[in-house]
Structure 1
Amino acid sequence: MKEFDYKKLVIATDQFSPSQLIGKGSHGYVYKALLLDHHQEDKDYDKHHKVVVAIKTPSSLLPSSPSSSSSKSEQTKKLENEINVMSSLPCNQHVLRFLGHADKKLMVVEYMPNGSLHQLLHVSAAPIHTWLKRIDVALQIARAVHFLHERGVIHRDIKSENILFGSNWEAKLADFGLAVDMAGEKARPAPAGTIGYLDPCYTSPENLSTKTDVYSYGVVLLEIVSCRKAIDVSRSPSSVVDWAVPLIKEGRIGEVCGGGGGGSDVFRGMNLRLLRMAARCVSSDVESRPCFREITAEIVACMAEPLKSLPLWVSVLRRVVQLKRRKKRLRETMTWPGQTCRVW
Structure 2
Amino acid sequence: MKEFDLQELEVATDSFSSSRIVGKGSHGSVYGGVLKDGNHVAVKKQSLGLQKLRDNTKLENEARILSSLPPHPSLINLLGISHDPFGNRILVTEYMPNGTLHEILHLSASPLPWSKRVEFAIQIAKGVRFIHESDPSIVHRDIKSANVLVDKNWNAKLADFGLAIRLNNKDELNLPAGTIGYLDPSYTTPSKLSTKIDVFSYGVLLLELISSRKVIDVLESPASIVEWALPLIERGRMTEVLDKRVRLPRYMGGTIKQLLRMAARCLSPTECLRPSMGEIVANLEGSIVRPVRLPLSINFIGDIILKILRRKTFKFGGTKRKEMAPITCADHDMRSCDCSKKMSKGTLLVREILADFTLK
TM over 0.5: yes
Residue 89 of structure 1 is matched in structure 2 by: 69
Matched, 1:289 2:269: no
* 1:270 and 1:306 in contact (8 A); partners too: no
* 2:252 and 2:289 in contact (8 A); partners too: no
Map residues 251-266 of structure 1 onto 2, 5 A cutoff.
Answer: 251-259=236-244, 261=246, 263-266=248-251
Q: CA deviation at 1:133?
A: 1.2
Equivalent of residue 162 in structure 1, options 147, 156, 161: 147
* 1:269 and 1:306 in contact (8 A); partners too: no
Residue 332 of structure 1 is matched in structure 2 by: none
* 1:13 and 1:33 in contact (8 A); partners too: yes
Relative to the length of structure 1, the TM-score reads: 0.81
Q: CA deviation at 1:260?
A: 5.9
Matched, 1:13 2:13: yes
Counterpart code for 1:314: V
For structure 1, the residue ranges without an aligned partner over 5 or more in a row are 37-48, 61-66, 319-344
Cα RMSD for the two superposed structures: 2.2
Counterpart code for 1:162: N
State, as a whole percentage, how many aligned pairs show the same letter: 48
| Superimposed CA distance per residue, residues 169-207 of structure 1 (whole angstroms, 9 cap, x where no aligned partner) | 011011000000223452351000011001101001110
Cα distance in 1 for residues equivalent to 2:166 and 2:99: 27
Closer, same or farther: CA 262–145 of 1 in aligned 2, 3 Å: farther
Matched, 1:58 2:58: no
Q: CA deviation at 1:35?
A: 1.0
Residue 119 of structure 2 is matched in structure 1 by: 136
Name the SS of the counterpart of 1:118 in structure 2.
helix
Residue 234 of structure 2 is matched in structure 1 by: 249
| Superimposed CA distance per residue, residues 208-234 of structure 1 (whole angstroms, 9 cap, x where no aligned partner) | 100000000000000011111111111
Closer, same or farther: CA 305–256 of 1 in aligned 2, 3 Å: farther
Residue 311 of structure 2 is matched in structure 1 by: none
- State the aligned residue count: 295
Residue 338 of structure 2 is matched in structure 1 by: none
* 2:265 and 2:275 in contact (8 A); partners too: yes
Residue 167 of structure 2 is matched in structure 1 by: 182
For structure 2, the residue ranges without an aligned partner over 5 or more in a row are 293-328, 331-348, 355-360
Cα distance in 1 for residues equivalent to 2:236 and 2:246: 18
Residue 200 of structure 2 is matched in structure 1 by: 215
Counterpart code for 1:3: E
Closer, same or farther: CA 5–293 of 1 in aligned 2, 3 Å: same
Residue 45 of structure 1 is matched in structure 2 by: none
Q: Which moved more, 1:215-224 or 1:176-185?
A: 176-185
Counterpart code for 2:203: G
Closer, same or farther: CA 283–222 of 1 in aligned 2, 3 Å: same
Cα distance in 1 for residues equivalent to 2:166 and 2:95: 25
Residue 77 of structure 1 is matched in structure 2 by: 57
Cα distance in 2 for residues equivalent to 1:35 and 1:185: 39
Residue 40 of structure 1 is matched in structure 2 by: none
Cα distance in 2 for residues equivalent to 1:185 and 1:238: 37
Map residues 122-133 of structure 1 onto 2, 5 A cutoff.
Answer: 122-128=106-112, 130-133=113-116
Cα distance in 1 for residues equivalent to 2:268 and 2:352: 42
Closer, same or farther: CA 117–111 of 1 in aligned 2, 3 Å: same
Cα distance in 2 for residues equivalent to 1:10 and 1:72: 23
Q: CA deviation at 1:315?
A: 5.0
Cα distance in 1 for residues equivalent to 2:198 and 2:19: 34
Relative to the length of structure 2, the TM-score reads: 0.77
Matched, 1:112 2:93: no
Q: Which moved more, 1:270-279 or 1:184-193?
A: 184-193
Poorly superposed stretches of 4+, deviation over 6 Å: none
Greater share of residues in helix? 1
Q: CA deviation at 1:14?
A: 1.2
Name the SS of the counterpart of 1:57 in structure 2.
strand
Name the SS of the counterpart of 2:102 in structure 1.
helix
Cα distance in 2 for residues equivalent to 1:216 and 1:116: 17
